[in-house]
Amino acid sequence: MDDPTLDPADWDGLRTSAHDLLDRALDRLQSARDGRVWTPMPEAMKSGLKAGLPGKGIAHDALADRLSDLMPYGVGNTHPRFFGWVHGAGNPGGVMAEIAAAAMNANLGGRDHGAIHVERQVLDWCCAMMGFPADSGGLIVSGTSMATIIALKAARDRRLDFTSRSKGVGGARLTGYASTQAHSCVARAFDMLGLGSDALRPVPCLGDFTMDLCALRQMIREDAEAGLTPFAVIGTAGSVNVGAIDDLAGLADIAATKDLWFHVDGAFGATAILSDPVRSRLRGMERADSLAFDFHKWLHVNYDAGCVLIRDRDAHLRAFSERPDYLAASTRGLAAGNPWPVEFGPELSRGFRALKIWAHLLEHGTEKLGAAITRNVEQARYLASRIGETPGLELLAPATLNIVCFRYAPVGAGDLDALNDAIVIELQESGVAAPSTTRIEGRLAIRVNLTNHRTTRPDLDLLLSEILRIGGWLSSN
């Protein structure tokens, strides 16, 4: 066998193939506005991905072809008419950071090296952006789901004097509170933390889909009277169904008087703090004990990139810190740089996500990122007003941030849920646009989420005209 190093025998060949692939990647991003939104992967390619484990490798030019062949088959979120779920649109500059990160191959579990200092810089910026104290705890993570688990573990452990770390939760009957519109990752965190998802109480919402604070007070009182231990309240800054922002200042007040940990799920909505017209609606978020939010959603850092901030840095550290002998802290040398990131979360080996966030903020600056958010909010208002004035379309929830829920409902149409579901599938399969669906008060809604810096008003006009055309066609067949 040849020398088993993985370095190429032919560096010039690798260079040529890598430059060629970079050009193809940038070509793809430069034409992100063109063509279909979602392109399903052809059956032949799917079968090609059921090959056996390769015993022998392939040449770099063949590898570049294999990689570039995959590029058309993403979810479609780089396209301006991708409106599904809550996906960021990504950004071409991010390719540069990914190249540098791959070349460094840094492991950010800990130690004293450049990447660690970049992550600390990013966390300092996060605190500044979100109005958190500069000495807060924090970690760059995969996304809000992981950030929520980390935040609520710190909340749980602090409430149980950190005995839960070694003894488990035992007979403690902790309860938390989030609105019925809260994201499912909160209940999942309760499940994973051994509290049980039933310990997360669903608090009813008002007509604007924000948490009813009177109901919250009553539920906390009743649980306490029943011998349970209310320990956390979770506010939502931008709910996944309709983009509602809870009364965060009101929640901060309740948390303070009831001695509860106040967590905010700001997956996408928290970053609207960069938008001048939206900022004041997030008042109270800066008083949270912890905040979970994403860079990969409304800030368009390429997947994946999220963040957790925890005001009580000591509690954050005490909830995760662990230094076995082989990871012992040192004051000098490569093992210095304490505390290590591994002391703030569950993962030891960690990639250099912070680099693409750092590069993104350097490249664009917060003003431009905020302006892109503002434009999406204005587009949501525009879309809602066009729906309001179009016969046959019905708005199902107020469009107060970036999400518009509506349906095609011409007079005399039959099963509107089935019809609107079929419209969305037809739109996705046609390649023209990709909204998704949800249910609003039991009714199936076409859900248009605007976290896309490439979307323009003509894209929204085309979406509506296609919905009317497809809806008319499906109703008459």
Ligand X SMILES: Cc1ncc(COP(=O)(O)O)c(C=O)c1O
Minimum CB separation of residue 365 from ligand X in Å reads 23
Q: What distances in angstroms separate CA 84 from CA 208, 324, 424, 474, one per listed residue? A: 22, 44, 10, 21
What is the pattern of x (binds ligand X, CB under 6 A) and - over residues 372-411? ----------------------------------------
Q: How far apart are CA 341 and CA 345, in angstroms?
A: 7
Work out which of 139, 149, 152, 185 binds ligand X, going by CB under 6 A.
Answer: 185
Choices 204-212, 213-221, 235-243, 395-403 (CB under 6 A): range interacting with ligand X: 235-243
d(CA 290, CA 266): 10
* Residue span binding ligand X (CB under 6 A) among the ranges 260-268, 315-323, 368-376, 430-438: 260-268
One DSSP character per residue, 283-336 reads TTGGG-SEEEEESSSTT-PSS--EEEEES-HHHHHHHH----GGG---SSSTT-
Spatial distance between the Cα atoms of 251 and 291, rounded to a whole number of angstroms: 14
Q: Least distance in Å: CB of 304 to ligand X? A: 7
Which residue among 79, 183, 201, 407 contacts ligand X (CB under 6 A)?
183
144 binds ligand X (CB under 6 A): yes
Among 91-99, 232-240, 414-422, 424-432, the segment contacting ligand X (CB under 6 A): 232-240
Please count the CA atoms within 13 angstroms of the CA of 394 that sit on its side-chain side.
16
Smallest gap from Cβ 89 to ligand X, in A, equals 14
Q: Considering the complex, what minimum distance in angstroms separates the CB of residue 359 from ligand X?
A: 20
Total residues at interface with ligand X (CB under 6 A): 14
Q: Crossing angle of helices 353-388/94-104, nearest 10°?
A: 150
Report, in angstroms and rounded to the nearest whole number, the Rg of the chain calculated over CA atoms: 24
Comparing every residue's Cβ against ligand X, the nearest one is 143
C-beta closer to ligand X: residue 111 or 356: 356
Q: Which of 136, 145, 179, 290 binds ligand X (CB under 6 A)?
A: 145
Please state, in angstroms and as integers, the Cα–Cα distance from residue 412 to each residue in 273, 295, 415, 475, following that order: 44, 44, 10, 10
Give the residue with the Cβ less far from ligand X, 379 or 402. Answer: 402
Q: Which residues pair with 226 in a beta bridge?
A: none
Of residues 62 through 91, those in contact with ligand X by CB under 6 A are 86
Helix (H, G, I), strand (E, B) or coil at 83: coil
By CB under 6 A, residue 343 contacts ligand X? no
Segment lying near ligand X (by CB under 6 A), choices 114-122, 139-147, 164-172, 313-321: 139-147
Are 242 and 405 within 8 A, CB to CB? yes
CA 167 vs. chain centroid, Å, equals 32
Find the shortest distance in angstroms from Cβ 13 to ligand X.
Answer: 38
Which of 189, 355 has the CB closer to ligand X?
A: 189
Q: Contact with ligand X (CB under 6 A): which of 143, 235, 284, 337? A: 143
Least distance CB 107 / ligand X (angstroms): 22
Give residue 302's Cα distance to chain centre. Answer: 11
Joined together, the tokens standing for residue 132 give 């958190």
Residues in Cβ contact with 428 at an 8 Å cutoff, skipping those fewer than 6 apart: 37, 38, 84, 434, 435
How far, in Å, CA of 75 to CA of 449, rounded? 15
Q: E strands of 198-314, at which residues?
A: 200-203, 229-236, 261-265, 290-294, 306-310
CB 450, min distance to ligand X, A: 13
Nearest distance from residue 189's CB to ligand X, in Å? Answer: 10
Q: In what order do the strands lie in the sheet with 200-203?
A: 137-141, 306-310, 290-294, 261-265, 229-236, 174-179, 200-203
Binder among 265, 286, 312, 459 for ligand X (CB under 6 A): 265
Nearer Cβ to ligand X (231/293):
293
Which 269-328 residues touch ligand X, going by CB under 6 A? 294, 306
Applying CB under 6 A, among 205, 240, 282, 377 the residue interacting with ligand X is 240
Closer to ligand X by Cβ: residue 197 or 385? 197
Of 293, 249, 267, 292, the C-alpha closest to 403 is 267
Matching residue, tokens 């929204």: 460
| 114 token code pair | 């450049």
What is the token pair recorded at 13? Answer: 């060949």
> Is residue 454 a contact point for ligand X (CB under 6 A)?
no
> Which span (16-24, 69-77, 263-271, 314-322) binds ligand X, by CB under 6 A?
263-271
How many other C-beta atoms are found inside a 10 Å radius of the C-beta of residue 299? 26
CB of 229 to ligand X, least distance (A): 25
> Which residue, 238 or 337, has its beta carbon nearer to ligand X?
238
Q: Which residues bind ligand X (CB under 6 A)?
A: 86, 143-145, 183, 185, 238-240, 265, 267-268, 294, 306
